[in-house]
Structure 1
Amino acid sequence: MNTPTRQRPNIIFIVADDLGFADLGCYGGRDAKFGKVSPVLDQLAAGGLKFTQGYANSPVCSPTRFALMTARYQYRLRGGADEPINSRSRGSAVLGLPPEHPTLPSLLKASGYRTALIGKWHLGYPPHFSPLKSGYEEFFGPMSGGVDYFTHCASNGAHDLFTGEDETPEDGYLTDMISKRAVDFVERMAPGAAQGTPFFLSLHYTAPHWPWETREDHALAAEVKDNIFHLHGGNIHTYHRMIHHMDEGIGWVVDALKKSGQLDNTLIVFTSDNGGERFSDNWPLVGGKMDLTEGGIRVPWIAHWPAVIAPGGTSTQHCMTMDWSATLVELAGAKAHDDLPFDGVSLLPVLRDAQHQFERPLYWRMNHRGQRAMRIGDYKYLRVDGHDYLFNIPADERERANLGGHQPERLQTMRAAWEAWDATVPAIPEDATVSLGYSVKDMPQR
């Protein structure tokens, strides 16, 4: 694909953090009870394409981000085996995204795109790792997995807000700060200012990840200072307000695109890094973050690109995070390195025609509870705690009717296919960690 630079779209890839499958109005969120939670995202979906069978590469944050950055299964890199990277990786020269590895931003940058990450990184810490070492020209945000929205301190109490690789002491509610920085970037990339050079903006919110604080909850920062996981706090109303703040900020970015005449030829993609957590709405799915049941890995996928994508579309095409990375690389006229081929498959034909479908087997594994999963066609193979299950997902989205005893041949075929795939990726290292961020015993039973 050798599209002239001036015709290639700008790309804004928006990632929410721990958002549930049905948290947005356009995915069945409970707007009637809580008010309009996501009007901007609902409008983007109505004006573009909504995927109903799209997945994250992992049910936990940093492994999905490894897949996003590389367009490859996260298991191929050592850092992607931790579930997720946590504070023990500070100073590690191993647990992070290797700077020498080709990435989505580095490939797009080499193809002539301006690149920026505004928001969460969570792929290793300086001096060995950082966004600037992996293809981004600009970075503003936290390096770790979760920070307080006002003090910007991580779970170990250290301040974690950076501009480039320099720590940035700055006041403000983090969601709004991320949104405003994104607006500034879009304005600076306007055709007159950037001579028509296309841009790639990774807009990675921490919302609605704990601690559960809204724009008005500054006083809570002192309360969560010594317990950023906020085990005793939060409620459904706060959670929805946090989503709404993110949605408002996305609206500011869309307005900036409109005012600068860039909206029509900008591809906006929205998703979550994994399924929802304590206050999320995953209906009709079960499970959540850390689970390979549908609630842990099925996530919203919205694509809006007025120049190409017809409005009002819905697709049941199966896909996962790394497929979108492969899509964007193709769109930019770039390609994978020969010795590091993509596992992701481009979805560009689906963006051009919502009715286009192709078979796409998907695979997952988790050290946590010895989980494994495979989805192909209507069927899903799942193992949890040593027990194997077979589900027909369209007929049983809540994964309640185990068909393994009724269709043993299909179960065996899918189990063998998963094991053949597993043999193609590195084994889980013995020192890989599972870090829930809290103790399971402290959480309400689902």
Structure 2
Amino acid sequence: MCPKELEEKYKRKAKAFKNLKHEYISPKRAGMVEALDNSVGRIINKLDALGIADNTIIILTGDNGGNFDETTGGLKGYKGFSHEGGVKEPFIINWPGQTKPGSKNDAVVIGMDFYPTILEMANLPLKPDEHLDGVSMVSLMNGTSKKLDRNEVYWHYPHYHRTKPYGAIRKGDFKLIEFFEDSALELYDLSIDPNETQNIIGTNPLLGEELLSKLKNWRANIGAQMMHENPNYNSNKTEIKRRKKGM
């Protein structure tokens, strides 16, 4: 939620802002960001006051990318998509005595990595049976490694929400997306095309086959649930609803 006074503050700023780059402007979102920043500041100040800041790990992150196109910094897709605009998110950590202030790392990590990471941070034994897809990020945080000991990361999204059902795999700089409805494939080289504007599956069929095989094997190995056809689905009713909504 955005406090009313902050929304009004940024409405006033927006009136005087020369938007030369035609950027998306939202006083409410700007106010929400400031409110979040203030909240984090209050937490840090309280930790200092209690004398436990040096023994407290702070992690700031999100669970998805932007909420719609104008909030992803030009990246393709948004929340729900496996394109970069949907899966790239903020990740900031302060671990006193371990993380170096101002340091950065561009290794690929995923939400499942938090479980083994926090266990190792707390000097607790790892539980491999409970975090099968996760890898501890401690070596990245303390600077002893530049990347994780993992070749691929996977996504499985057999739902209709914002996008069509899909599965995806990223290996190195290459990402393959498989859409379950029609088996359509998208392949991107993120090292030269981070905005995913060029689907290179047509010119790289062997790489596409390799990644698709890995993706299918991964789904089989973990017993991933797939979609089932709805016997009661009526395409005519769906079309009528779309027309009523003006879609």
Bin for the TM-score computed over the shorter chain = 0.7 to 0.9
Matched, 1:250 2:47: no
Q: AA paired with 2:167? A: R
Gap change, CA 1:441 and 1:271, over 3 Å in 2: farther
Q: Deviations over 1:153-173 (max 9, x none)?
A: xxxxxxxxxxxxxxxxxxxxx
Aligned equivalent of 2:132: 342
In 2, Cα distance between the equivalents of 1:407 and 1:430? Answer: 28
Q: AA paired with 2:103? A: G
Aligned equivalent of 2:224: 427
Equivalent residue runs for 1:282-297 within 5 Å: 282-297=72-87
Cα distance, 1:429 vs structure 2:
6.0
Aligned equivalent of 2:173: 378
In 2, Cα distance between the equivalents of 1:275 and 1:443? Answer: 27
Would you say the 8 A contact 2:116–2:127 is kept in 1? no
Matched, 1:356 2:146: yes
Q: AA paired with 1:214? A: C
In 1, Cα distance between the equivalents of 2:119 and 2:194? Answer: 32
Give the one of 202, 209, 224 matched to 1:405.
202
Bigger CA drift: 412-421 or 270-279? 270-279
Q: AA paired with 1:391? A: Y
Gap change, CA 1:415 and 1:440, over 3 Å in 2: farther
4+ runs deviating over 4 angstroms: 336-339, 439-445
In 2, Cα distance between the equivalents of 1:331 and 1:408? Answer: 42
Higher relative contact order (CA 8 A, sep 6+): 1
Secondary structure at 2:78 match in 1: coil
Gap change, CA 1:281 and 1:442, over 3 Å in 2: farther
Secondary structure at 1:391 match in 2: strand
When the two structures are superposed, what TM-score results if normalisation uses the length of structure 2?
0.75
Gap change, CA 1:441 and 1:322, over 3 Å in 2: farther
Task: Indicate the structure (1 or 2) with the bigger Cα radius of gyration.
Answer: 2
Q: Deviations over 1:97-138 (max 9, x none)?
A: xxxxxxxxxxxxxxxxxxxxxxxxxxxxxxxxxxxxxxxxxx
Query: Unaligned stretches of 5+ in structure 2?
Result: 6-24, 229-240
Would you say the 8 A contact 2:69–2:76 is kept in 1? no
Q: AA paired with 2:206? A: E
When the two structures are superposed, what TM-score results if normalisation uses the length of structure 1?
0.43
Equivalent residue runs for 1:46-445 within 5 Å: 213-216=1-4, 236-278=26-68, 281-337=71-127, 339-353=129-143, 356-360=146-150, 361-367=152-158, 368=160, 369-384=164-179, 385=181, 386-428=183-225
In 1, Cα distance between the equivalents of 2:31 and 2:246? Answer: 22
In 1, Cα distance between the equivalents of 2:218 and 2:178? Answer: 15
Gap change, CA 1:293 and 1:279, over 3 Å in 2: closer
Would you say the 8 A contact 2:114–2:134 is kept in 1? yes
In 2, Cα distance between the equivalents of 1:257 and 1:306? Answer: 13
Q: How many residues align?
A: 211
Cα distance, 1:441 vs structure 2:
8.9
Q: AA paired with 1:261? A: G
Cα distance, 1:278 vs structure 2:
3.7
Cα distance, 1:241 vs structure 2:
0.7
In 1, Cα distance between the equivalents of 2:71 and 2:227? Answer: 34
Cα distance, 1:383 vs structure 2:
2.1
Gap change, CA 1:443 and 1:414, over 3 Å in 2: farther
More helix by share: 2
Q: AA paired with 2:106? A: T
Q: AA paired with 2:77? A: G
Gap change, CA 1:417 and 1:266, over 3 Å in 2: same
Q: AA paired with 1:406? A: T
Would you say the 8 A contact 1:322–1:343 is kept in 2? yes
In 2, Cα distance between the equivalents of 1:430 and 1:404? Answer: 24
Query: Unaligned stretches of 5+ in structure 1?
Result: 1-212, 218-234, 432-438
Gap change, CA 1:354 and 1:258, over 3 Å in 2: farther
Cα distance, 1:333 vs structure 2:
2.3
In 1, Cα distance between the equivalents of 2:55 and 2:140? Answer: 17
